[in-house]
Chain A
């Protein structure tokens, strides 16, 4: 039965022509393709790679369709829903006034947390955090803080007495590969959407958050309601397989090709983060340079998408 499948596979043109040859035999030939895909995933992919295409029809260097929706969570101070293909991330920001530490009295603080609830993937069980969860969480925290996107001094209200504590939570709603890319994008979109709450001094000399309608007295930060983002980092994950570099892998591709490379560049072309955790394929300088070139292209695409959604929000 197995050799029949392989022979069947060989006869086809190896690309998207599978299963589209004749209408009557359509269902049976599709079933065989599906079985081949499950039994020999690597060979299935290699047939496609030889034609420079992937099973979902994408070119090797092309990322999936990306969308950003701002303001997805109405109760949060800033939020965004980012989708790369089927991978969906929801980011929400809540801000609180706190006393800054003695070592840095002029700086606020950002706490970043990434969660993978069981809704996102059949591999994640309730009660047992996914393996990727603390890793992506730490990667996000490192990237956002070291990129210099947000100046912590911007978060200061009264030097030495009050500063903002920013809680950024990112929830993965659907895990279909490239989790870090989607999470970073949703975090940046949430920061772009963020409206800093209005604070005023109450009678005890403490700063409290007030809602816009109640009275205009003693509002401390009337003008400063938005964060300025200078060096925005954008990321692209690629998988390496022999001589091929596939950009933006799906979950299936990530499992089959174990070698992942994540490159994060910012708008000033600085390398913010490069992550290659082992893998069977060694990365030579040429592959690293190719990945960086692909990331530069992706940066332009993502910047355009982000600008469009931000200007769309401002019109409203």
Chain B
């Protein structure tokens, strides 16, 4: 039984991705990312000297500000800030610039679903239990539950042995961040994980292609 999605995508199809960098002049780094109609602008400033009061001075402190498209910042925005901050702290090597603060500002330009975590995969779990990838806003509202997943970028196999395995599982299968919304059966969650991993490869390939010109080697 196939689900008909509004825009005619198959359950496993992601929306078209576009990414451009250096869109803002004054920021030290900036990029705009869109997935279908969802568009997000990100700017990075830093590192600035000094850390916040209770933070560890031996590491860089990352501060995230999330600005919604309309309305005041409320609890949801604070939650996204906290999740992004912790995700970025686990991804970046923090000991390079100790006792500094890096400021990341996310501005939502258009929200058509899956707005959080533009480097993440968003799966949707429909009423009938089917898992669909990357839901649009209307689909999100009808979803029973959906998890946001962040996976590490899949490793390019330059070594003949292939990707490093940790305890029999590939490193890129580990989840960095996962936040679920809505109740679902435990098995469905694991199905979403599998679909997310499959989509992760496509997203990683896209990311690598768009960042390739500037990366050394």
Contacts and interface: CB of A to CB of B under 8 A. Distances in A.
B183 A282 contact: no
A138 B76 CA distance: 7
B167 A286 contact: yes
A284 B173 CA distance: 6
Contact of A274 (B152, B171, B179, B185): B179
Contacts of B184: 270-271
Interface string B170-189: 01011111111111111011
B183 A277 contact: no
Mostly, the A contact residues are mixed
Nearest to B152: A282
A135 interface: yes
Contacts of A258: 86, 89-90
B176 to A, nearest CB: 6
Nearest to B147: A274
A134 B75 contact: yes
A307 B89 CA distance: 41
A277 B54 contact: no
Question: In the complex, which of the residues B173, B180, B184 has the most CB atoms of chain A within 10 Å of its own CB atom?
Answer: B180
Interface in A115-154: 123, 131-132, 134-135, 137-139, 141-142, 146-148
A230 to B, nearest CB: 12
Contacts of B180: 271, 273-275
A18 interface: no
Contact of B86 (A142, A271, A278): A278
Nearest to B145: A146
B185 A271 contact: yes
B65 to A, nearest CB: 13
A290 B64 CA distance: 31
Question: In the complex, which of the residues A141, A231, A258, A288 has the most CB atoms of chain B within 10 Å of its own CB atom?
Answer: A288
Chain B contact-residue range equals 35 or more
A272 interface: yes
Interface in B41-84: 54, 74-76, 78-79, 82-83
B78 A277 contact: no
A302 to B, nearest CB: 18
B167 A282 contact: no
Contact of A284 (B82, B147, B166): B166
Chain A contact-residue range equals 35 or more
Nearest to A282: B174
Contact of B169 (A273, A276, A286): A286
A49 B164 CA distance: 26
Interface string A191-223: 000000000000000000000000000000000
Interface in A169-187: none
A282 to B, nearest CB: 3
A283 interface: yes
Interface of A: 123, 131-132, 134-135, 137-139, 141-142, 146-148, 231, 258-259, 265-266, 269-280, 282-286, 288, 292
Interface of B: 54, 74-76, 78-79, 82-83, 85-91, 145, 147, 150, 152, 166-167, 169, 171, 173-186, 188-190, 193
30 contacts: A135-B82, A138-B75, A138-B76, A138-B79, A142-B181, A148-B183, A231-B183, A258-B86, A258-B90, A270-B185, A271-B180, A271-B185, A271-B188, A273-B181, A273-B183, A274-B189, A275-B178, A275-B179, A276-B177, A277-B86, A277-B87, A278-B87, A278-B89, A278-B91, A278-B176, A278-B177, A282-B152, A282-B175, A284-B166, A288-B175
